[in-house]
A and B are shown apart, each in its own frame.
Chain A
Amino acid sequence: MQHISVRLLGIAVLLILGGCVTAPPKANFTQFRTENPRSILVVPAINKSVDVNAPDYFLATISEPLAERGYYVFPVNMVRSVLADDGLNDANLVHSGDPKRLGELFGADAIMYISIEKWEAKYVVLSTTVTVELNYTLKSSHTGAELWHNHQVVNYQPQAASSGGLGALIADAISAAMTKAAPNYVPLAQQANAQAINTKGSGLPAGPHDALYLKDSQDF
């Protein structure tokens, strides 16, 4: 009994040391660290998917994870409206514009440009795969330099084809058809954001409103 406990203890310790995620190779944070931005202006996303609503739905998911990481995040909906009222309702136009100019207008340290590469549900045989693919680029509004970038692909398959005969096949087909009819991308976008922002080594360093601000250079 004692031996089993000790062995289990060893495994558990290894698991704890291993942490929740394996850290990918550390990204280059030199430029980020020279500027240490305090505030982030998220501009409406560029949409490369066929879903016209994707940029707005996505916008609703991005403030919370960035703010909880310790940054001041400008009010996304207000920024979207103010830009539109100034004739900037084309995201492509905003993205190709000068980050310094945007920074001056809003008093922001950095601008977050997001491109929605995929926001789609594909029906293949008996199952549907929902995919969200995003590119994140953070640029300095003081120098225009790129401070950080990240790429995420998140897939969701509601139900893998099961082995349970005809009944199960019909159930799978119904489930897949329903997912295709009304796929819910929001949880996938949230997962992509969390992975992009919070992963050690490739995410964003802790911001000024976090206790680890400027103290996490080992990880970032």
Chain B
Amino acid sequence: MIKPARLALLITAALLVTACATPQKKYAWGTYDHSLYVYYKDPATAAALAQSLQATISAAEKTNAIVGPGIYAEYGYLLLQQGNPTAAIDAFRKEASLWPESKVFMDHMIQAASGPPRKAAASG
């Protein structure tokens, strides 16, 4: 039988340990920050950045996790730069439906991507 004072001490100690723990993340980010850093270090690695975003998205979709704001859009933009406007538009639509706050920007980008194939990001 544990003495009440001792029990209280144990509970408080447990609280102390958890009190400063990092709160659980809201979103699935994969390696977004690191991959972006690597890409800025060497802009030739754009394909690797796209791949890592795609991996983050498919892993999240499999487990019903929500990817962080901007992830679908970043992925879509890289697809657009790779000359794949259809897949890009699909990603922009996903961003807009997941995050209504992005709708103005995404509509803008969808329109630009749907237009005649001129310079990819001429969003004007």
* Chain A residues positioned under 8 Å from B105 (CB to CB): 74, 105-108
* Chain A residues positioned under 8 Å from B39 (CB to CB): 77
Is B26 within 8 A of A67, CB to CB?
A: yes
Q: Which residues of A contact B (CB under 8 A)?
A: 2, 5-6, 8-9, 12-13, 15-16, 19-20, 38-39, 53, 56-57, 59-61, 63-64, 67-68, 70-78, 81-82, 85-86, 105-109, 186, 209-210
Is B77 within 8 A of A78, CB to CB?
A: yes
- Give the size category of B's interface with A: 35 or more
The answer to whether residues A73 and B70 also contact, given A8-B9, A78-B77, A86-B124 and a CB cut-off of 8 A, is yes
Is B33 within 8 A of A12, CB to CB?
A: no
Is B68 within 8 A of A38, CB to CB?
A: no
| 24 A-B pairs with C-beta separation under 8 A | A2-B3, A5-B9, A12-B13, A12-B16, A16-B15, A53-B41, A56-B40, A59-B40, A63-B32, A63-B69, A68-B26, A72-B102, A73-B69, A73-B70, A74-B73, A74-B105, A75-B70, A75-B73, A77-B36, A77-B77, A82-B123, A85-B119, A107-B101, A108-B105
**B44 close to chain A: CB less than 8 A:** no
A-contacting residues, B22-39, CB 8 Å:
25-27, 29, 32-34, 36-37, 39
The residue of chain A having its C-beta at the shortest distance from the C-beta of B43 within the complex is: A56
Is A67 within 8 A of B103, CB to CB?
A: no
**B104 close to chain A: CB less than 8 A:** yes
Is B8 within 8 A of A9, CB to CB?
A: yes
Is A2 within 8 A of B5, CB to CB?
A: yes
CA distance A60 to B74 in the complex (A): 12
Is A85 within 8 A of B121, CB to CB?
A: yes
Is A64 within 8 A of B33, CB to CB?
A: yes
The residue of chain B having its C-beta at the shortest distance from the C-beta of A186 within the complex is: B37
Is A67 within 8 A of B3, CB to CB?
A: no
* Chain A residues positioned under 8 Å from B70 (CB to CB): 63, 67, 73-76, 78
Given contacts A75-B73, A106-B104, A108-B105, 7 further A-B contacts (CB under 8 A): A2-B5, A5-B6, A56-B40, A64-B32, A78-B77, A85-B119, A105-B105
Is B26 within 8 A of A209, CB to CB?
A: yes
CA distance A106 to B119 in the complex (A): 19
CA distance A64 to B33 in the complex (A): 8
A-contacting residues, B86-117, CB 8 Å:
95, 99, 101-105, 108
Q: Return the CB mask of B1-22 against A: 1 if under 8 Å, else 0.
A: 0010110110011011001100
- Distance from B107 Cβ to chain A, minimum over Cβ atoms (Å): 9
- Distance from B1 Cβ to chain A, minimum over Cβ atoms (Å): 14
CA distance A186 to B101 in the complex (A): 28
The answer to whether residues A9 and B5 also contact, given A75-B73, A106-B105 and a CB cut-off of 8 A, is yes
Is A16 within 8 A of B12, CB to CB?
A: yes
